């Protein structure tokens, strides 16, 4: 890929510049988290107007390739991990298959009266109890996602005695309590981290994150698990494939 703009080409100069920048990032010349030259420097190097350079930088920022920080400049965005919904294939299984070093830390496991938000999704009465399990998953030693799972205590008595760190919760529920997953109601939204989640994920309050919620049903239609997963927005990308 040449770094020289072909001014007589039918390809617009801004498109050529975008291709040059993209090639630098793809080759590793501009590495993740590296600050790239300023608008003024790029304007001088390529002999283009500042407006043209700024437009290309804004385009790459909108595509998630660059991060523009007010007063500091533009940085190459960290490479994101791409995975499918954890409801359909365990996150740990996916990441290990990609070669990442995965670790899980159990933050808490408690038997509690189900909060209203949990009761509504699991169709429980006001005094029914659930196991509330909170785990932190890290990739190569860096926090990636915070998992909260709620399971009716009546459906899985003694669940807190099982190892939910070394074993996948879905496997425990299926093999020990005959609760196989048949269907899932899933939601996805962008959120701003609250103080607690930010602390666990090693970020600042208000930073962007992805929140996935799942209500999981067994073959007879009983909702047996409600879970929320908060992913770091700067690290994770979820992919959804559908066949009609």
- Please report, for the domain that includes residue 158, its CATH number: 3.40.1410.10
Q: Which residue bears the tokens 């070669």? A: 99
Question: From residue 218, how far is each of 66, 81, 82, 208 by CA, in Å?
Answer: 43, 30, 28, 33
Of 241 and 25, the structure prediction assigns the larger pLDDT to 25
Q: Distance of alpha carbon 158 from its chain centroid, rounded? A: 31
Helix axes 50-62, 39-46, angle to 10 degrees: 120
pLDDT digits (tens, 9 = 90+) for 193-232: 999 999 999 989 998 899 999 999 999 999 999 999 999 8
CB atoms near residue 114 (< 10 Å): 23
User: Residue 93: what pLDDT?
Assistant: 80
Question: Which domain covers residue 95, as residue numbers?
Answer: 81-239
Q: Are residues 91 and 202 in the same domain?
A: yes
Q: Is-above-0.85 flag for pTM? A: no
Would the pLDDT of 240 be above 80? no
Whether residues 129 and 210 fall in one domain: yes
Which of residues 61, 76, 91 is at a domain's end?
A: 76
Q: Could you tell me if 162 and 229 lie in one domain? A: yes
Number of Cβ within a 10 Å radius of residue 217: 17
111 shares a domain with 57: no
Is residue 141 within 8 Å of residue 161, measured between CB atoms? no
- With a CB cutoff of 8 Å and minimum separation 6, the contacts of 112 are 129, 130, 132
- Do 72 and 87 lie in one domain? The reply is no
Model pLDDT, residue 1: 47
In-domain check, residue 44: yes
What values do phi and psi take at 34, rounded to 5? -80, 140
Classify residue 4 by its DSSP letter. Answer: S
Domain end point (choices 76, 110, 125): 76
């Amino acid at each position: 890929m040449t770094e020289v703009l072909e001014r007589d080409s039918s390809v617009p100069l801004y498109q050529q510049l975008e291709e040059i920048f993209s090639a630098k990032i793809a080759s590793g010349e501009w590495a993740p988290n590296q600050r790239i030259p300023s608008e003024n420097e790029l304007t001088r190097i390529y002999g283009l107007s500042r407006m043209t350079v700024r437009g290309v930088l804004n385009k790459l920022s909108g595509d998630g390739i660059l991060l523009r920080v007010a007063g500091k400049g533009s940085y190459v965005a960290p490479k994101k991990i791409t995975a499918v919904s954890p409801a359909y294939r365990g996150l740990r299984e996916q990441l290990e298959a990609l070669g990442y070093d995965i670790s899980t830390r159990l933050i808490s496991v408690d038997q509690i009266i189900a909060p209203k938000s949990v009761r509504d999704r699991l169709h429980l009465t006001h005094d029914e109890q659930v196991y509330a399990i909170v785990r932190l998953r890290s990739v190569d030693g860096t926090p990636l996602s915070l998992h909260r799972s709620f399971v009716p205590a009546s459906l899985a008595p003694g669940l807190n005695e099982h190892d939910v760190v070394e074993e996948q919760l879905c496997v425990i529920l299926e093999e020990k309590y005959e609760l196989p997953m048949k269907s899932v109601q899933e939601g996805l939204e962008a959120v701003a981290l609250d103080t607690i989640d930010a602390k666990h994920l090693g970020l600042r309050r208000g930073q962007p994150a992805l929140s996935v919620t799942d209500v999981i049903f067994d073959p007879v239609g009983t909702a047996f698990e409600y879970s929320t997963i908060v992913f770091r927005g700067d690290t994770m990308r979820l992919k959804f494939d559908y066949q009609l």
